[in-house]
Structure 1
Amino acid sequence: MTGTAEIAQQFVKLLIEEDDAGLQEYWSDDIVSLEPMEGEMARVEGRDALLAKHAWWNDNAEMHSVSTDGPYVFGDQFAVRFTMDVTMFGERTKSSEVGIYTLKDGKIVEERFLYGADE
C-alpha cells in the first residue's frame, strides 16, 4: 500500500479502532509532531519522543468521546478532523482539531495539529 489515499484510509481505520501498534507502523523513524501550544509537547521529534507524547496524553486525558472525519487527501498529505469531549487536568471541554499528515516513502514524516479558532 503506497498511495496516499490508501495509506490515509487505513490510518483513519486504525485511529477509529484505537490500534496504537498499527498506527506506529506508518510512522517514519524521524517523525515530527507539532501542536500549536507552549511546552515540551509542542514539538516532538522521533519515534521514541512520539511514544512518550502518546503516553503523556493517555496519562492526562480522559476521553469521553471522539469522532473522526476524513481523510481528505492532496498530494503527499492527508487531513483528519477530530471532534472530542475530553477532561484534562480536571476541566472537561469539547473541542475540534485537524491533523495534517505528510508522507514520504509511504511513512508519516510529520503530523501537524490545528485547533479550532475558539479553542
Structure 2
Amino acid sequence: MPYTRGEVVWGPEPFKSVVRPRPWVVLSNEKHPFHGEEYLAATLTTTKRKEVIEIKEEHWIEGGAPKKSYVAPWVIITLKHGDIQEKIGKLKLDFLEKVVEDLKSYISRKND
C-alpha cells in the first residue's frame, strides 16, 4: 500500500557514515512520478535551529515522535518504498504547507 502525503516514516539515513534509520515526512502526493515506488520526503530532527519548523502536538493527526521534533525543509530525499521500515504517524496537511513553502523559498529563482 502506498504511503501518502504527511505520513512520517522510518527510512534510511544516507548522510551519515553509520547507516541507521531516521524519521522522514512524505511531501509528495499521488502525482509524483513512480508514486508507490518512491516518495519525496523531508527529514525530522531533534536539533533545534532557527530555520527548522517545530512540530507541535496539535500538528499530528496520528502517532507522534518520541522526542521534541522539527522538520528541516532543506533536507530532502527520494525514499524508495522498499527502504521504508514503518510508518510512525501522520502530520496535518496544513502543517506541511509551511514546510513546502519554506522549501520553495530555498529553490525559487524569485530572489536571484
State the TM bucket, normalised to the shorter chain.
under 0.3
Q: Per chain length, whose mean CA-contact separation is higher, i.e. which structure has more relative contact order (CA < 8 Å, sep 6+)?
A: 2
Flag the structure with higher helix content. Answer: 1
Q: Which has the higher strand share?
A: 1
